[in-house]
Amino acid sequence: MTTMEQLNVIFKTVFDDDDIMITPEMTANDVDGWDSLSHINLITTVEARFSIRFSQKELLTQKNVGDLIRDIESKLAAGN
Partner 1 sequence: MLFNSLKYLLFLPSVYVVYYFVGERVRWCVLLAASLLFYAALNIPYLPIVLSLVALTTYSFGIWLDRAESHRSKRTLLWGGVTANVLILVCMKYLPFLSSNLNTVSAWFSVCNFSPAIFPTLVSIGVSYYVFQAISYLIDIYLEIEKPELHFGYFALYLSFFPKLLQGPIERSSDLIPQLKNRYEFNYDNMRFGLLLFTWGFFKKVVIADRLGFYADTVYNDVHAYTGLSLLFGTYAYAFQIYMDFSGYTDMALGSARLFNINLTQNFNSPYLATSVADFWRRWHISFSRWILDYIFKPLQMRWRDSKNWGTAAALIIAFLISGLWHGASWGFVIWGGLHGLYMACSAIWKPYQKRLYKALRVEKTPYLKSWQIFITFNLVSLAWVFFRANSLDDALYVVLNLIHRPVSNRIIDMLIGTGINQYNLMVLSISLVLILLVHFQSGKVRFTNCPTWFRWGVYFLLTLWVILFQAEGAASFLYLRF
Q: Which is nearer to partner 1, 9 or 48 (CB)?
A: 48
73 with 3: CB under 8 angstroms?
A: yes
Residue 74 within binding range of partner 1, rule CB under 8 A: no
Gap between the Cα atoms of 46 and 68, Å rounded: 10
Percent helix / strand / coil, the chain, rounded to 5: 65, 0, 35
Q: Which stretch binds partner 1 (CB under 8 A): 5-13, 22-30, 59-67, 68-76?
A: 59-67
The string of DSSP codes covering 50-64 is HT----HHHHHH--S
Residue 59 within binding range of partner 1, rule CB under 8 A: yes
Of the candidate residues 30, 44, 74, 76, the single one contacting partner 1 (CB under 8 A): 44
- Please report, as ranges, the residues that interact with partner 1 according to CB under 8 A: 35-37, 40-41, 43-44, 56-57, 59-61
